[in-house]
Chains A and B, each alone.
Chain A
Amino acid sequence: MLPFSIELKPGLPITEQVIFAVKRAVVAGRLKPGTPFPSVRTLSQELRINPNTAHKIVGTLVAEGVLLTTPAVGSVVAEPSGDDRQAKAALLGDELERVVVEAKQLGLGLEEVQAELAAHWKRLGRK
């Protein structure tokens, strides 16, 4: 079993989807630093994806410092570098961009969007 949860959706590159899922698991603390990360082979077999794609995923995660490779063990989850909260906030990037684009096209200002966001926050917070 893989140490992070993912449900692959058609239409988006598999590489991006898996990398996002891994980063989310790391910042949410579900993948702790030092945890062994599945090998390319395991990743490919568990997700039923092309080994070349799995290879690229691991390579990108290593290059971005999310994983560390150790000769004996393979790759492990790295100690998060820099600001943890900043990393968490960065995961919202795409979603926020979409909201901003929509808002601009509708001709809404920043204050109006913030007010709307605050209202949603409050509404969901009460439950």
Chain B
Amino acid sequence: MTFPMNIIETDRLTRRFRATEAVHALTLAVPTGSVFALLGPNGAGKTTTLKMLANLLLPTAGSARVLGVDSRKLGERELAQLGYVSEDQRLPDWMTVTQLLGYCRPFYPTWDADLEAKLLVRFELPADRKLSQLSRGMRMKAALLSSLAYRPKLLVLDEPFSGLDPVVRDDLTAGLLEAAQLGETTVLVSSHDIEEVERLADHVALLDGGRLRFSETTEALLGRFRRIEVDYEGTVDSSSLPESWLGWSSGGGRAVFVETAFQSEHTERACRERFPLARVRAHPMTLREIFITLARAGRHSTEEIAR
């Protein structure tokens, strides 16, 4: 079965815990074959979202379609194509790595023994050690291996890199890329640290306070954000600035702000209209800088700055 456009689509997905709304009316599409990073600070609602998508938690309102079915109706057939690995994964601690894999194997018709063997070597997992005696990084490797080996169509990873050292993170990434097949595997990965997933993700979405701030391709996001420096003469009227300009500050003949809808000519024209004779410079921003800018802007206003 193929999923032509989006392997996940949510429609106003909402989850409340008593008085607290962890996820608010989330409408999101995860394109098939993408590596989709769901980003946001701790407590933003990422884990709650992922749990609803894997039917580990029921939505209070709204719905999600995952692998072509309603998330509440995910059955054996869909679960055999879905991998779910979380930061605080519960594993059968009394088993050895070999026993864990032996236990998982029969559940999945698509289990790939060659890939399993390759990943065991790549992850340097001690096959005969009990899971309870493994380090945090090793446990994550064992959990990821047991999900990668059946080549799921959809892999959901909840903070897989959190608290792990760079070498383990690199091993996990390498294993993920070894197992992923172009256009076949969709990876939905959550993280509070953009740098962990910057190279991997071709789509990024930002969740903040249970609300979606934006969701777009990494390329489009990097393309539309620029830090702008303007050196001008005289005074400047900052009362009518474009809505796409964030974090405006000026003084001493210089203004600095972030343009969120950058287009070389358009931005330059907008600057010149306001300050003739200005010297305008546009600097590309890293994803981290973009997120910090958005987080600050979010604190200052409750208005949506997502497009």
Give chain A's interface residues, CB within 8 Å of chain B: 8, 10-15, 40-41, 44-45, 47-53, 55, 105
By a CB distance below 8 angstroms, the chain A residues around B182 are 40-41, 51-52, 55
By a CB distance below 8 angstroms, the chain B residues around A11 are 222, 284-287, 289
For B174, give its contact among A8, A40, A45, A51 (CB under 8 Å): A45
By a CB distance below 8 angstroms, the chain A residues around B241 are none
A44 to B175, CA, bound (A): 12
Among A41, A45, A51, max chain B CB count under 10 A is at A51
Stretch at the interface among B68-76, B77-85, B108-116, B197-205: B197-205
- CB contacts between A and B, total, < 8 Å: 53
Are A48's CB and B222's CB within 8 A? no
Known: A11-B222, A50-B200, A55-B182. 20 other contacts (CB 8 A): A8-B199, A10-B198, A10-B287, A11-B287, A11-B289, A13-B219, A13-B222, A40-B182, A45-B177, A45-B178, A47-B199, A48-B170, A49-B200, A50-B35, A50-B199, A50-B201, A52-B33, A52-B182, A53-B202, A105-B279
For B219, give its contact among A15, A44, A48, A49 (CB under 8 Å): A15
30 A-B residue pairings within 8 Å (CB atoms): A8-B199, A10-B195, A10-B198, A10-B287, A10-B288, A11-B222, A11-B284, A11-B287, A12-B222, A12-B284, A13-B219, A14-B199, A41-B182, A45-B174, A47-B199, A48-B200, A49-B199, A49-B200, A50-B35, A50-B199, A50-B201, A50-B202, A51-B180, A51-B181, A51-B182, A52-B33, A52-B34, A52-B183, A53-B202, A105-B279
Give the shortest distance, in Å, between B7 (CB) and chain A (any CB).
14
Q: Does B98 contact A (CB under 8 A)?
A: no
Give the shortest distance, in Å, between A12 (CB) and chain B (any CB).
6
A105 to B217, CA, bound (A): 34
Binary contact track B267-307/A, C-beta < 8 Å → 1, others 0: 00000000000010000111111000000000000000000
A107 to B198, CA, bound (A): 39
Binary contact track B20-50/A, C-beta < 8 Å → 1, others 0: 0000000000000111000000000000000
Please count how many residues in chain B sit with their CB below 8 Å of the partner chain's CB atoms: 29
A42 to B197, CA, bound (A): 19
Known: A44-B177, A45-B174, A105-B279. A52 touches B202 (CB 8 A): yes
By a CB distance below 8 angstroms, the chain A residues around B200 are 48-50
Q: Does B173 contact A (CB under 8 A)?
A: yes
A43 to B4, CA, bound (A): 26
By a CB distance below 8 angstroms, the chain B residues around A15 are 219
By a CB distance below 8 angstroms, the chain B residues around A40 are 182
For A48, give its contact among B173, B195, B223, B279 (CB under 8 Å): B173
By a CB distance below 8 angstroms, the chain A residues around B218 are 13
Q: Nearest 9 CB-CB pairs, A to B? A: A11-B286, A10-B286, A51-B182, A105-B279, A45-B177, A50-B202, A11-B284, A49-B199, A50-B35
Give B164-180 interface residues, CB cut-off 8 Å to A. 170, 173-174, 177-178, 180
A13 to B34, CA, bound (A): 16
Give B183-223 interface residues, CB cut-off 8 Å to A. 183, 195, 198-202, 218-219, 222-223
By a CB distance below 8 angstroms, the chain B residues around A41 are 182
A53 to B199, CA, bound (A): 9
Are A51's CB and B219's CB within 8 A? no
Give the shortest distance, in Å, between A112 (CB) and chain B (any CB).
17
By a CB distance below 8 angstroms, the chain B residues around A44 are 177
Are B199's CB and A48's CB within 8 A? yes
